[in-house]
Amino acid sequence: NAGVTQTPKFQVLKTGQSMTLQCAQDMNHNSMYWYRQDPGMGLRLIYYSASEGTTDKGEVPNGYNVSRLNKREFSLRLESAAPSQTSVYFCASSVIQANQETQYFGPGTRLLVL
């Protein structure tokens, strides 16, 4: 049981380049999330997915697209990277069991856009 995994761990892009951040969870959770964390700040929600095939915008969706092709995987795509997208990106999944909700995070992807 690996929990939530993210690839890559680190990435350097040039302005205008594109890339996809991958996220997978093996806990059979319906809900998955993408957050970004800028230095000295809390997490901000980019997109979330309530279930396979559905996605919704969070607080800061501009410049990103997501894809939830199956229950396990939720990817985040930067079509044309900008320096303002330099951040640490966290993927998470969550579950509610017996009225107790728990959110599990991946280790994060550190992205630098030059």
Binding stretches for another protein (CB under 8 A):
30-31, 33, 35, 41-45, 48, 50-51, 56, 58-59, 88, 90, 92, 94-96, 99-105, 107-108
Closer residue to another protein, CB minimum distance, 14 or 98:
98
Task: For residue 55, give every residue at least 6 positions away whose Cβ sits within 8 Å of its Cβ, in sequence order, or none.
Answer: 47, 48, 49, 66, 67, 68
**Residue 95: C-alpha distances to residues 21, 57, 109 (Å):** 22, 20, 22
Tell me the one-letter amino acid at 69: L
Q: Which residue's CB is nearer to another protein, number 17 or number 110?
A: 110
Closer CB to another protein, residue 10 or residue 14? 10
